[in-house]
Amino acid sequence: MKILQRLLAILLSLSLVNAMMFQTAYAGMISTEEVARMASVDQVASGHARLTTALARADVRAEMARLGVDPALAVERVAVLTDEEAANLADRINSAPAGADGGTIIGALVLIFIVLLFTDLMGWTKVFPFTRSIR
């Protein structure tokens, strides 16, 4: 049994050494201009791609139809945007808070409810029938 374990350990060690020997990396110098160009190309391509992907979603198309916007016209207008405009618009959409208008209204309503509930519990008002004053 010990001989089998030693043989297996030797085989695994040799296979690991063999695998490490064939992993090589090649590095070369890249100019700053080339890096900037590659980054701008990636950003530009992703801008148009992100906008097109967003416009292809069913919920976005339904909301555009509800607002009276033709989804095909929106796709055409995105195609006409310059690369920089598309990247800027996609970045602005990604950085916009989700549900900002609805969240503000709901937050205000919750705040008003909590204030009225507190005043009812303190005995200063009687707005809700399900509360009893602590006084």
Q: How does the average pLDDT of the chain come out, rounded? A: 74
pLDDT digits (tens, 9 = 90+) for 72-85: 888 887 887 777 77
Identify the pLDDT of residue 63. Answer: 82
Whether residue 66 is found in the same domain as residue 47: yes
Whether residue 64 is found in the same domain as residue 115: no
Domain that holds residue 134: 100-135
Whether residue 73 is found in the same domain as residue 15: yes
Stretch 20-39: mean pLDDT = 69
Whether residue 87 is found in the same domain as residue 122: no
Exposure class string for 93-116: b at 16+ Cβ within 10 A, else e: eeeeeeeeeeeeeeeeeeeeeeee
Residue tagged 């009225």 (tokens): 116
Q: Which of 11, 83, 15 is nearest to 47 (CA)?
A: 83
> Residue 124 carries which DSSP code?
S
Whether residue 135 is found in the same domain as residue 122: yes
Q: Provide the whole-model pTM.
A: 0.41
Whether residue 52 is found in the same domain as residue 10: yes
What total number of domains does the chain contain?
A: 2
Residue tagged 């201009």 (tokens): 33
40 vs 80, higher pLDDT: 80
